[in-house]
């Protein structure tokens, strides 16, 4: 579409959205349980494929993103599985006690340490079993509970391919597939998205056999899919709506694909929806070309990570004030 | 909140505590739903319109009469491209008519289907200049005080800290998103629009579903409930739409007050039956959301576009 042969594949950054309920639960955790303990807290973020042609979806934090009680022995909080509109991804929260320590956080090394977890999960094969770890994220915050101000900043760590991947033939999925394939693919996606077992699995394989029948497979089935002929694409739930660019989750997916299977040419599919059903017109297909990126051969080193949310104006963080719903004085006045 | 409203809330709360939930169906007679009928209708909505899902909500706020995993319904990140006030004139011009009325003469407007949806679907994915223009001119800023402009004096100002390149870095594979910068250039093709989380709870007192709106501004920051009223049909703003505590979510949210829901649903059901259509309880929420669309005409939540009020239902 917008690309000439071999232009750099650019990914639209993921954006964040934090529900008011998240800050309410964090406040009560802080006041009732954590006190001045500022050790990192495992949290859960939620995302879903883009569901509107004009609007991207966000990585969303809800009150359920935080555990009701922080238990140090469990590494991940409990989440409800099988909600198609809420693919759970693991994250970590560094909530500081003072604004000075918020600012003093070494954001580069925090990013590296989360990216390293992704890298380890890619190398160990864990990412093939639970692909949501590829979308791991990081949140730093300072909750000023005296005035109900919350400063925060997200990072979505991505392993950089250097030199960057290039893209050819990026086009709407409805043009890439023939009619019979598209019809079968639509049905296959419908089944994948309506089953509790698969609806919240964000990375998968799309296999089109020689008789144009489509099937969606788990990543761990790569070897069998590769050997049965036909077309094989790497699909993911794309929160981005842009017709010209894939969304952020494709970055670590490409890192996984290159690292695990050493593929230099990757057909990818950005899965997007309209009204809760696969929208092949909005979904994209393209081929990413990967040219011997640095750091992928040497097991002792990790590719460079990027991923802090972009600055808004001069600030690197966002601020929300919830005095209106948290300040007891104001609540008393509004209830009087 | 006015005193009479307060008193009524207190009364309603007491009645809800001492009476059991409805168990006998009175769907056709009164337009209301029993708890189990609400779950049936909700299940059907979730299966037909998968952008909706059931939520279990806050543990402390769970209602014992509803299944723990089916406390309320929600659809998130629903676009609202224009303010309701600005489209009402277009409705008049398009021949909008009043279908359902009550004795007091302040009845619900008939539904107008999905405004503008069909038109946009035929266009390209890129937002057109026209919609961009509308979204720009109709932008209503959220009140800055709500988002940290207030009471910040005793907090050291971080604004002056220079961003170091090694944190954000320069990465050729990151798509620069111009709209994330405070002063957006005019030539970006990103549509900045309000979005809504629309939720449906079961109101035990009125025995009907109840719709709640949580609004977000163009940069996905929480919208004051008062500003939500701009996206409510002006006939209903502050009358049928009130700002109250959500039964499952924290904070104040705008809500379509359910006091007339039963009566309106009864009228719709009567119309259906007079046309020889047997109303089915699992389709209740489609009918319900269709009439709610007349209250919030520009919030584009999904309730199955081609649902036919008059004929044998298509979904």
pLDDT, tens digit (0-9, with 9 covering 90-100), for A87-131 = 999 999 999 999 999 999 999 999 999 999 999 999 999 999 999
Flag whether A311 is in a domain: yes
Query: Residue A163: what pLDDT?
Result: 93
Residue A243 with chain B: CB contacts under 8 Å: 124-126
The verdict on A133 and A210 lying in the same domain is no
List Cβ neighbours of A221 (8 Å cut-off, separation of 6 or more): A205
Question: A203 with A252, same domain?
Answer: yes
CATH of the domain at A320: 3.40.140.70
Query: What does the alpha-carbon distance between residue A264 and residue A43 come to, in Å, rounded to a whole number?
Result: 35
Q: How crowded is residue A128: how many other Cβ atoms within 10 Å of its Cβ?
A: 18
Q: Is residue B40 part of a domain?
A: yes
A84 located within any domain: yes
Contacts of A60 in chain B (CB under 8 A): 76
B190 neighbors B181 (Cβ within 8 angstroms): no
A274: containing domain: 166-289
In chain B, how many domains are there? 1
What is the 3-state secondary structure of A118-160?
HHHHHHHCHHHHCHHHHHCEEEEEEEECCCCEEEEEEEEEEEC
**Could you say which of B49, B151, B174 has the minimum Cβ distance to residue A275?**
B49
Residue A36 lies in a domain: yes
The nearest alpha carbon in chain A to B128 belongs to A54
Domain count, chain A: 2
Task: Give the pLDDT of residue B220.
Answer: 82
State the helix-helix crossing angle for A250-261 and A107-124, rounded to 10 degrees: 40
Domain residue limits at B279? 3-96+116-121+193-292
Q: CB–CB of A63 and B77 under 8 A?
A: no
Q: Do B302 and A317 touch (CB under 8 A)?
A: no
Q: What is the distance in angstroms between the Cα of A230 and the nearest Cα belonging to chain B?
A: 30
CATH number (domain holding residue A197): 3.40.140.100
Task: Please provide residue B312's backbone torsions phi and psi, each rounded to the nearest 5 degrees.
Answer: -60, 130
B80 is catalytic: no
Q: Concatenated DSSP letters for B50-92?
A: TT-EEE---GGG--TTS-TT-SEEEEEEEEE-S-HHHHHHHHH
| pLDDT of chain B, 315 residues: tens digit per residue | 567 777 777 778 777 777 777 777 888 889 999 999 999 999 999 999 999 999 988 888 899 999 999 999 999 999 998 888 776 655 555 554 444 444 444 445 444 444 444 444 433 344 433 343 333 333 344 344 344 444 444 444 444 444 444 566 678 888 886 543 333 334 344 556 899 999 999 999 999 999 999 999 888 888 888 889 889 988 888 788 988 999 999 888 999 999 989 999 999 999 989 998 888 899 999 999 998 998 998 998 988 745 444 444 433
Distance from CA of B236 to the nearest CA of A (A): 22
Query: Are the Cβ atoms of A313 and B69 closer than 8 angstroms?
Result: no
Question: Does A316 map to a domain?
Answer: yes
Task: Tell me the mean pLDDT in the region A136-149.
Answer: 95
- Asked if A241 is an interface residue toward chain B (Cβ–Cβ < 8 A), one would say yes
Confidence band (pLDDT; 50, 70, 90) for A336? low
What does the pLDDT read at residue B157? 45
Contact B211, B199 (CB under 8 A): yes
**A55 has a chain B CB within 8 A of its CB:** yes
**Could you tell me if residue A6 is inside a domain?**
no
Q: Which residues contact A311 (CB under 8 A, 6 or more apart)?
A: B163, B168, B180, B181
- Taking only residues 151 to 170 of chain B, the set having a beta carbon closer than 8 angstroms to any beta carbon of chain A reads 151-152, 154-156, 158-161, 163, 166-169
Q: Are residues A17 and A129 in the same domain?
A: yes
Residue A321 CA to residue A145 CA, distance in Å, equals: 10
Residue A53: count of CB within 10 angstroms of its CB: 21
Q: Does B2 touch chain A (CB under 8 A)?
A: no
CB atoms within 10 A of CB B64: 6
Q: Cβ separation of A51 and B252 shorter than 8 Å? A: no
> Could you tell me whether strands A87-96 and A41-47 are parallel, antiparallel, or unpaired per DSSP bridges?
antiparallel
Considering the domain architecture, whether residues A214 and A307 belong to the same structural domain is answered as no
Are both A85 and A110 inside the same structural domain?
A: yes
A281–chain B Cβ distance below 8 A for any pair: yes
* Predicted complex: ipTM over 0.90: no
Query: Residues A59, A191: one domain?
Result: no
Whole-number average pLDDT of chain A? 90
Once rounded to an integer, what is the mean pLDDT over residues A42-52? 95
| Residue B56 sits at the chain A interface (C-beta within 8 Å) | yes
Q: Which two three-digit tokens encode residue A285?
A: 């297909």
pLDDT for position B88: 62
- Answer whether residue A315 is part of any domain: yes
Q: A143 with A28, same domain?
A: yes
Give 3-state DSSP helix, strand, coil % of chain A, rounded to 5. Answer: 30, 30, 40
């Amino acid at each position: 579409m917008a690309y000439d042969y071999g232009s750099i594949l650019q990914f639209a950054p993921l954006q964040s959205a934090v529900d008011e309920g998240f800050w309410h639960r964090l406040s009560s955790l802080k006041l009732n349980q954590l006190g001045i303990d500022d050790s990192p807290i495992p949290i859960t973020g939620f995302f879903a494929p883009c569901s509107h042609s004009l609007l991207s979806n966000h990585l969303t934090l809800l009150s359920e993103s935080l555990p009701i009680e922080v238990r140090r022995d469990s590494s991940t909080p409990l989440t409800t599985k099988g909600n198609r509109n809420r693919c759970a991804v693991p994250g970590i929260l560094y909530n500081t006690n003072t604004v000075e320590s918020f600012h003093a956080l070494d954001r580069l090394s925090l990013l590296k340490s989360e990216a390293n977890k992704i890298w380890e999960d890619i190398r160990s094969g864990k990412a093939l079993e639970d692909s949501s770890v590829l979308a791991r994220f990081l949140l730093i915050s300072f909750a000023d509970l005296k005035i109900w101000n919350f400063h925060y900043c997200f990072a979505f760590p991505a392993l950089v391919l250097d030199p960057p991947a290039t893209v050819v033939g990026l086009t709407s999925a409805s043009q890439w597939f023939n009619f019979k394939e598209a019809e079968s693919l639509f049905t296959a996606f419908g089944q994948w998205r309506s089953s509790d077992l698969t609806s919240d699995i964000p990375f998968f394989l799309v296999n089109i056999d020689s008789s144009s029948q489509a099937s969606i497979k788990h990543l761990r089935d790569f070897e069998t899919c590769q050997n049965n002929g036909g077309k094989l694409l790497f699909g993911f739930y794309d929160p981005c709506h842009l017709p010209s660019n894939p969304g952020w989750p494709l970055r670590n997916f490409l890192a996984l694909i290159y690292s695990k299977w050493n593929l230099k040419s990757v057909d990818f599919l950005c899965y997007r929806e309209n009204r809760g059903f696969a929208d092949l017109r909005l979904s994209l297909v393209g081929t990413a070309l990967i040219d011997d990126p640095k750091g992928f051969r040497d097991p002792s080193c990790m590719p460079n990570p990027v991923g802090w949310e972009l600055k808004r104006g001069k600030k690197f963080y966002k601020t929300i004030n919830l005095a209106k719903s948290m300040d007891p004085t104001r609540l008393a006045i509004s209830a009087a | 909140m006015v005193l009479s409203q307060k008193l009524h809330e207190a009364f309603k709360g007491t009645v809800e505590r001492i009476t059991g939930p409805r168990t006998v169906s009175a769907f056709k007679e009164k337009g209301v739903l029993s708890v189990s009928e609400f779950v049936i209708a909700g299940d059907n909505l979730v299966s037909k319109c998968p952008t909706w899902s059931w939520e279990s909500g806050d543990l402390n706020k769970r209602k014992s009469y509803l299944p723990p995993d089916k406390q309320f319904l929600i659809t998130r990140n629903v676009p609202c491209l224009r303010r309701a006030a600005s489209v009402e004139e277009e409705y008049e011009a398009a021949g909008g008519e009043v279908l359902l009325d009550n004795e007091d003469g302040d009845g619900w407007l008939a539904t107008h289907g999905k405004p503008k949806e069909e038109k946009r679907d035929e266009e390209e994915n890129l937002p057109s200049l026209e919609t961009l223009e509308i979204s720009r001119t109709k932008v209503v800023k959220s009140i800055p005080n709500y988002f940290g402009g207030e009471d910040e004096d005793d907090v050291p100002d971080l604004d002056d800290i220079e961003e170091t390149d090694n944190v954000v870095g320069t990465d050729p594979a990151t798509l620069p998103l111009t709209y994330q910068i405070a002063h957006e250039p005019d030539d970006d093709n990103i549509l900045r629009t309000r979005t809504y989380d629309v939720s449906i709870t079961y109101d035990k007192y009125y025995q009907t579903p109840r719709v709640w709106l949580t609004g977000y501004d163009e940069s996905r920051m929480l919208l004051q409930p008062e500003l939500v009223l701009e996206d409510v049909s002006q006939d209903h703003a502050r009358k049928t739409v009130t700002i109250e505590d959500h039964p499952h979510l924290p904070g104040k949210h705008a809500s379509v007050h359910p006091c007339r829901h039963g009566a309106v649903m009864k009228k719709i059901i009567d119309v259906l039956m007079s046309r020889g259509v047997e109303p089915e309880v699992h389709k209740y929420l489609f009918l319900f959301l269709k009439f709610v669309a007349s209250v919030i005409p520009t919030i584009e939540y999904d309730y199955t576009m081609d649902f036919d009020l008059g004929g044998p239902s298509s979904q």
